Amino acid sequence: MIEAIPFLLQGLGTTVIITFGSFLIGAFCAVPLALARLSDIVPLRLLATAYIEVVRGIPPIAWMLVLFYGLGRYVTLPPLLAACLALGAVSTAYLAENYRAGIQAVAGGQWEGAGALGLSKGDTFWRVIAPQGIGVALPPSASYAVGLLKDSAVASVIGVSDIAFQALTLNQQGNPGLPIFLAAGVVYLVVSVPMAVLARKADTFIRTRSAV
Amino acid sequence: MFEQWIQWLPGLLSGLQTSLAVTGLSLLLGLPLGLLFAFGMISRTRILRQTTILIVELGRGIPLLVVLYVVYFGLPDGGIVLESFAAAVVAIAFNTGAYTSEIFRAGLLSVPRGHIEAAQSLGLNWTDEARYIVLPQALRAIVPPLMSYSVIVFQATSLGYAIALPELLNSAYQIGSVTFEFLSVFILAGLIYAALSIVVSRFVDAIHSKTSH
Amino acid sequence: MIDNQQNRTQGAAGTTDAQKAPQLQLKDIHKEFNGNTVLSDISLDVNAGEVVAFIGPSGAGKSTLLRCVNYLETPSSGDLLIDGKPTVKIASKPTRNELMNLRRQVGMVFQSFNLFPHISVLRNVALPQERVLGRSRKEAEERAMELLTRVGLGDKADARPSKCSGGQQQRIAIARALALDPEIMLFDEPTSALDPELGGEVLAVMQELAATGMTMLVVTHEMSFARRVSDRTVFMADGRIVEQGAPEQVFGAPREARTKKFLEAVLER
């Protein structure tokens, strides 16, 4: 049993890479998506809304199979990349909704006030709106990152050697499954619990700072 | 493409049936479990409260897929052998219980203390108090998020793919492995997931905006 | 000392039958909360038809005392008697039946009204009658209508409580409590959450109720109400009864320095 731990921990790095990789993809791509979702240009807004709704309506594991097997005929993606892209696409949709809530939480008067001062739309967004909206968008995004860590386990079904995959491998080699999968669960907890605590800390930090 | 889709549809729909059956049974078992966890979390007995919180944290902190592996691959070591269908229901129901306990707890606590005192001072006994005062008010706070959560449960049934449960995603995979039209069949399956999820979500939103006005 | 004042207030209340046991008796009611004494050994007799006003600084224990009378708060020790009969055998451990019996005899009106928001005004008044007294729905709703009309709100019967003003909600809450035919009514700062104008409507209903001979215990910040309507005013501070007597005496010629200080502070505002 003890000798299983290092083997499981070998998967930890991969799990962290999927989580952070897909979160980074989402964090970047969600900016234009959120802006498109709030755009005055109707087709752009509809397209963004459709992306968000459809992507969130399909389970992450299905996205993973689409990218890995579905695109397999045209391009062969390494499993790790396929996993990051699949979860990245999903987190783009979720984070865009968080960003939108953040942007909309900033009072409309701020746009008018900045406009009256002669600030460009771009300057207004980046220097006035975004810094205020981030306090609203960050806490749910941080908890989303914790959720992403758990979602990353589905990468094991396309052969990415993350924690869950390592556990499966051990089990298939004839080791008893119960202790191995429980140990794998504990490894996830060891990462997810501090992440959740950190997310809560960041939340209170931002709240107290913006309250001043 | 559409001709293929029509040809595949019966196979996918029978997979969908399994997905929906797992969804329904998981909710049927998971929601009472969630209510039970909620009562445990607000219990005055410290040991009960702490044990419940621990179980709930485990349920929320461990990926559902790993819980599924524990139930399907792990429990046989303890002498409990479950088929993939039963294993999926057990794992998802436990997960549902852990996640919905917070919804139930918040709903129960949303009933103002004063209303409970008023019910008591009027001499209502505790069953009447729960039936006529607490639950009707709590349900308003509980039902919309639970309906949203049922969409998450429906999507979670796709993890059954990993234990060879013949649900929607697995049916799509089976069709793909015969026809090699993976992309096409996954798109169709994806659209079925999305269509159901979006319809239910819109419905919940509609109810929500109606009741909050 | 208390007994002396008791006789005096009976005179003030105009109670004729002095032979009968007091309707409500509190004996050495003591309440501790997390090691802090909130009420220390309070004894008080209240006769049928008497209106007793409790005044004093916040934190004096007035509301806690009132809540002990219908066991929303459980006293740490002491006895609570109604019509000379003990209501709860072991003060700190009331049984379910004892609580039901006690609360059937005692009605309560809260500072925050606590109407049930999910049912109509009429159902608020009718439902407890059906569940607690076993009245039929028709009977209960007739009685509810009668009481709502009496507090001037017959036209609000089908509305949700949230559609009523604070003053109206409080009058509905009074009707709801009265519908159970209580022998004693408790009012816990019934006008504190209301604008003076709306509070006036509620005080008018209470004054009318007092005139019908209802036994009333009222915790209040309305000094003029205490002075005008009560048969006896009880001044509390730090979990004790500091002084009590006819309102003319307590307000006009307070004996204790603590009472004087409080009244000066309140009346000078």
Enter the DSSP assignment of C222: -
What pLDDT, on the 0 to 100 scale, is given for residue B44? 81
What pLDDT, on the 0 to 100 scale, is given for residue A31? 94
What pLDDT, on the 0 to 100 scale, is given for residue A16? 94
pLDDT digits (tens, 9 = 90+) for B91-128: 999 999 999 999 999 999 999 999 999 999 999 988 89
Query: Does B120 contact C127 at a Cβ distance shorter than 8 Å?
Result: no
Average pLDDT for residues A46-52, to the nearest whole number?
96
d(CA B186, CA C174): 64
Average pLDDT for residues C8-15, to the nearest whole number?
42
Enter the DSSP assignment of A106: S
Cα distances (Å, whole numbers) of residue C11 to A1, A28, C245, C246 = 87, 83, 11, 9
Share of chain C above pLDDT 90, in %: 80
B150 or A174: which carries more pLDDT confidence?
Answer: B150
- The answer to whether C241 touches C22, Cβ cutoff 8 Å, is no
Query: Does B122 contact C180 at a Cβ distance shorter than 8 Å?
Result: yes
- The answer to whether A87 touches A148, Cβ cutoff 8 Å, is yes
d(CA B161, CA B182): 15
Instruction: Enumerate chain B positions whose Cβ falls within 8 A of a Cβ in C.
Output: 112, 114-115, 117-125, 128, 132-133, 136-137, 140
Q: What's the pLDDT band for A155 if we cut at 50, 70, 90? A: very high
Q: From the CB coordinates, do chains A and B have 3 or more pairs under 8 Å?
A: yes
d(CA C192, CA C55): 13
Beta bridge partners of C219: C54, C188
What b/e readout covers B144-153, taking b as 16+ CB neighbours within 10 angstroms? bbbeebbbbb
- Helix, strand or coil, per DSSP, at residue B87: helix
What pLDDT, on the 0 to 100 scale, is given for residue A194? 87
pLDDT digits (tens, 9 = 90+) for C195-216: 888 899 999 999 999 999 999 9
CA distance B46 to chain A (A): 22
What pLDDT, on the 0 to 100 scale, is given for residue C13? 44
CB-based contacts of C164-169 (< 8 A; 24+ apart in sequence): C164/C121, C165/C198, C166/C113, C166/C193, C166/C194, C166/C195, C166/C198, C167/C194, C167/C195, C167/C197, C167/C198, C167/C199, C167/C200, C167/C201, C167/C202, C168/C201, C169/C113, C169/C115
Rounded CA Rg of chain A: 20
**Interface size between A and B, measured as CB pairs under 8 A:** 135
Q: Which residues lie closer than 8 Å to A187 by C-beta, 6 or more apart?
A: A8, A9, A11, A12, A163
Whether the CB of B182 is below 8 Å from some CB of chain A: the reply is yes
Enter the DSSP assignment of A128: I
pLDDT digits (tens, 9 = 90+) for A2-33: 777 888 999 999 999 999 999 999 999 999 99
What pLDDT, on the 0 to 100 scale, is given for residue A67? 92
C10, pLDDT greater than 70: no
Starting at the earlier edge strand, list the strands of the sheet with C85-86. Answer: C36-46, C24-33, C77-82, C85-86
Q: From the CB coordinates, do chains C and A have 3 or more pairs under 8 Å?
A: no
CA distance C102 to chain B (A): 8
pLDDT digits (tens, 9 = 90+) for C223-238: 999 999 999 999 999 9
Beta bridge partners of C236: C241
DSSP string for residues in B126-166: HHHIIIIIIHHHHHHHHHHHHHHHHHHHHHHGGGGGGGT--
d(CA A135, CA A118): 25
Share of chain C above pLDDT 70, in %: 93
C1, pLDDT greater than 70: no
What pLDDT, on the 0 to 100 scale, is given for residue C15? 45
d(CA C130, CA C143): 11
Whether the CB of B187 is below 8 Å from some CB of chain A: the reply is yes
Q: Degrees (nearest 5) of the Cα angle A192, A197, A200?
A: 125
Among the residues of chain C, which ranges form H helices?
2-13, 62-69, 96-105, 121-128, 137-150, 166-178, 196-211, 223-229, 247-252, 257-267
Contacting B residues, span 144-173, partner chain A, CB-CB under 8 Å: 155-156, 158-159, 161-162, 169, 172-173
The dihedral built from the CA positions of residue A104, A108, A110 and A114, taken in this order, carries a sign that is: positive
Q: Structure tokens of B111?
A: 């009933």
Share of chain A above pLDDT 90, in %: 57
Looking at this predicted complex, what is its ipTM?
Answer: 0.88
C34, pLDDT greater than 90: no
What pLDDT, on the 0 to 100 scale, is given for residue B209? 78
Q: What's the pLDDT band for A46 if we cut at 50, 70, 90? A: very high
Share of chain A above pLDDT 70, in %: 97
Average pLDDT for residues C104-111, to the nearest whole number?
93
What pLDDT, on the 0 to 100 scale, is given for residue B212? 61
- The answer to whether B139 touches B148, Cβ cutoff 8 Å, is no
pLDDT digits (tens, 9 = 90+) for B9-40: 999 999 999 999 999 999 999 999 999 999 89
What pLDDT, on the 0 to 100 scale, is given for residue B42? 85
Closest CA to C201 of C166, C228, C242, C156: C166
DSSP string for residues in A35-103: HHHT-SSHHHHHHHHHHHHHHHHS-HHHHHHIIIIIGGGT----HHHHHHHHHHHHHHHHHHHHHHHHH
Query: Does B122 contact C100 at a Cβ distance shorter than 8 Å?
Result: no
Pick from B122, B124, B137 the residue to mutate for testing the C interface (most C CBs within 10 Å).
B122
CA distance A151 to chain B (A): 7
- Chain A residues with CB inside 8 Å of B182's CB? 65-66, 69-70, 72-73
Among A125-134, B85-94, C166-175, name the one with the lowest average pLDDT.
A125-134
A175: left (phi over 0), alpha (psi -120 to 50) or beta: beta
What pLDDT, on the 0 to 100 scale, is given for residue C11? 40
- State chain C's mean pLDDT as an integer: 89
* Residue C89 C-beta-side C-alpha neighbours within 13 Å: 4
Q: Which residues lie closer than 8 Å to C4 by C-beta, 6 or more apart?
A: none
What pLDDT, on the 0 to 100 scale, is given for residue C21? 83
Q: Structure tokens of A192?
A: 């997810």
What pLDDT, on the 0 to 100 scale, is given for residue C269? 67
Chain length of chain C: 269
- State chain B's mean pLDDT as an integer: 92
Cα distances (Å, whole numbers) of residue C44 to C24, C60, C75 = 8, 16, 15
Average pLDDT for residues A48-77, to the nearest whole number?
92
- Chain C residues with CB inside 8 Å of B112's CB? 112, 114
* Cα distance from N-terminal residue to C-terminal residue, chain C: 32
Share of chain B above pLDDT 90, in %: 73
Q: Which of C106, C116, C177 sits opposite B133 (nearest CB)?
A: C116
d(CA C251, CA C259): 9
Q: Amino acid identity, residue A84?
A: C
- The answer to whether A95 touches A141, Cβ cutoff 8 Å, is yes
Phi, psi of C236 (to 5 degrees): -120, 145
Q: What's the pLDDT band for A177 if we cut at 50, 70, 90? A: confident
CA distance B8 to chain C (A): 49
- Helix, strand or coil, per DSSP, at residue B63: coil
* Residue located via tokens 């987190």: A91
d(CA A168, CA B97): 25
A58, pLDDT greater than 50: yes
* Residue located via tokens 């026809």: B179
Cα distances (Å, whole numbers) of residue B88 to B25, B72, B84 = 10, 8, 6
- The answer to whether B63 touches A150, Cβ cutoff 8 Å, is yes
* Residue located via tokens 């109407």: C115
